[in-house]
Structure 1
Amino acid sequence: MDLFTPIFPPEKRHKHFLYITEPGFCEPEIEVIKSWADGFIDRNGQLVEEFQTKFNSAFWEIYLFACFKELGCSVDTSHETPDFLVSSQYGDFIAEAAITSHPEGFRPEWEKDYDLLEKTSTKDILRLSAIRLEFSINKKFKKYRNLYSKLPHVKNKPFVICIAPFEQPFFFLQDSLAIVRVLYGYEEVISRKDSNGEFTIIGESFNYRVQKKPGFNINVGLFTNAKLKQVSAVIFNNRATFCKRMFEKSAIE
């Protein structure tokens, strides 16, 4: 599988792919990604296209494949769907890759304007992150319920959703706060400051709704009820990006 030989004109290539394939710039990184993809079967013939034109979804899928191999798992990518049939020392499970992307009309993650960071609150970052995570997780669950669960190689195996966020320029600042809110409704620690300036934790705050727009909320706390009972686990990583520091340095310079 040749990921890096361009098969599309420059105007159709993703910004990250253009960056990686700049001559003489990222040869070591290219070799690492090639090693990750070693043994990966492109069962629907679309991975190379996605890697060159959409990038993040394909990068995340290759990253997961490499992680499972590193953990000593045997990974079967020969089935068209779902993404991975994983065999481990603890048993077999199904893993499906998912990402979050920016909503229509929002700034994409690769347009990092650092002047905007000072004007963007953590609360706003987390709200958008939670909205997009909830959407992507539910979308994959519906696919499992309506399609995947009926496939012979999926039946009676745990189903795991593996998700990475790319919904806004500073998505990596969310840490685990948004996914914990989406899965468990957990919002924040409540603390009290005494006269000596010492903080004491007095409780925790939970909120099972996130405002998508005025007058319309989405429900979160997906693992606190039976709605997603067929999802065994969610794997989340907000740092699985290509050379984030390089992109940031480029943007600053």
Structure 2
Amino acid sequence: MSAGVEYTIDELARAADTTVRSVRVYHERGVLPPPQVKGRTGFYSREHLNRIRTISRLLDRGIKLNGIRELLEAWDRGDDLGDVLGVSEAEELDGAAAGSGETISATDLDERYRAVPNGLTRVVAAGLYEPVDATTYRIADPQLIAVAEQLGAAGVPVADVLDELDRLRGDCERISRRFVELFQRTAWQPFLESERTAADVAELAERAEVTRTAPGRLAAELVNRYTARYLAQDTELNEALPGA
């Protein structure tokens, strides 16, 4: 294990926004390497944390742990990941709907992201594309792809776009968890202790809808506000812009 930050299993689970039980399951299923044992305590590295985050993204795409193990083993060996990711949907997708989204050949997708190390794997793990069969991929999230392409057209390297998308996903997941925990404390738990009348159910439904929609609007507003503020503080940039 490389030098740097070390985590106990509890600390690793908290950092990865998962549970100790999940970490142990990942060990049992062979998708997470064992920790370094010092005395009687196992310590995990930043590589373990990154691996768990990758596993979580792949699970979100409906890929089973067996498929994830095969994918990560191939990744570690440096094999052709296009072949691994192209395993039949029946084996790797956990009941995900087939859908009818726009498709792209594995060759074209690999070519599109050839400048990015493990580019094909990364765009699938990021949820932008998903395998249909051994030779075809489907667009899984057209909105994210459109924003990524807009950034690329503005001159941001594709690898940097994917890095920022990875970080943004992690940030958004943490924000979402906090709002859901807030809902559970202030709405769900009181509902469980209520008489569960029709009025109680209606109030719960209203608060659940607010929890589903308000965090995104709030986060978007704050991100746009802070981004504009930081750009405005760059004197040299504003002097170079016309009309500044």
Give me the TM-score of the superposition, normalised by structure 1: 0.28
Higher relative contact order by CA 8 Å / sep ≥ 6: 1 or 2? 1
Give me the TM-score of the superposition, normalised by structure 2: 0.29
Q: Which has the larger radius of gyration?
A: 2
Higher helix share: 2
